[in-house]
Amino acid sequence: MRGKPNISRPTEIVNPSKSADQPIRPKASQRKGRTETVEHAARRPSQKRSIERFNAILEATEQLLQTAKIEDISFYDIARRADLPPASVHYLFPTMASVRIELSRLYNKQASDVVLRMDKALRMNPSATWQEWMRKMASDTRDHYNANRHICEVLLGPILHRESRLANMEANDAVGGALLENLRTVFIVPQIPHLTRYFVCLCEIVDALWSRSYLQYGTIDDESFEESVAVQIAYLRSILPETLPRRDGI
């Protein structure tokens, strides 16, 4: 017995203008919320007990990041490690992006402290050029990253949310400005328009190279590091003089 013939229906023609007016269906986390947007900022507590929970959540996440990938960690994983109810984690950190943003701020501050410590050490070397200064700064920052997997996961791992990327950009704004100010404490730097912006761009370039290396190899390997240093020096040579005089007394 023959079945019914397979008659294909004509493809419905979609009106582009009509389709463009239809909003994209929001994610589940948005649909369940009371507002149209998802808040990715952590709720910073003021009471002692809540502050302790806030810090415990960050510490638990850091412990998980010693072995786990950042995209695989959930609220339940953090709650179990911190020995807290999942609702407590979710209250202080509405999304996983908010956890990452807080850790990003913390780790970028630590990286800036490493740069400051190296800056003081380099002042003791009267023959160091700005090129050697930049290389030493990059080398010690790389060692700090490679010795702390959790930092690499947060700062160099995959970007999961727009807010995380914006937080990294803000951090690079701060690090780039601090890097230039540190350079000025040792060397006499000419007044160059938009110089701070150039140092911020430099941080973005290094981030991209180091992130690629970490995602590929789980570390900032030697070859990628040397490439990043070469790019830094070449980029700054297009902006700065080849030789910068040191400040008197340094």
Residue 31 has a pLDDT of 43
Q: Are 94 and 160 in contact (CB under 8 A)?
A: no
The answer to whether the Cα torsion of 47, 53, 56, 60 is positive or negative is: negative
CB neighbourhood size of 9 (10 A): 5
- Partners of residue 246 on adjacent β-strands: 187
Residue 39 has a pLDDT of 58
Range 85-88, long-range pairs (CB < 8 A, 24+ positions):
88/53
- Closest C-alpha to 161, from 41, 58, 35: 41
Residue 191 has a pLDDT of 94
- Closest C-alpha to 160, from 102, 203, 207, 98: 98
Measured distance CA(245)–CA(81) in Å, rounded = 53
Residue 20 has a pLDDT of 47
- Closest C-alpha to 53, from 107, 99, 105: 99
- Closest C-alpha to 175, from 237, 217, 100, 119: 119
- Partners of residue 80 on adjacent β-strands: none
Local structure of 148: helix, strand or coil? coil
- Partners of residue 187 on adjacent β-strands: 246
Per-residue pLDDT tens listing for the chain (250 residues): 444 445 444 444 445 444 445 444 444 444 444 444 445 677 777 788 889 999 999 999 999 999 999 999 999 999 999 999 999 999 999 988 899 999 988 888 887 777 777 766 667 777 789 999 899 889 989 999 999 999 999 999 987 778 888 888 888 888 888 889 888 988 999 999 999 999 999 999 999 999 999 999 999 999 999 999 999 999 999 999 999 998 876 6
Residue 174 amino acid letter: A
The pTM (predicted TM-score) of the whole model is 0.78
Q: How far apart are the first and last CA of the chain?
A: 98
Measured distance CA(91)–CA(79) in Å, rounded = 12
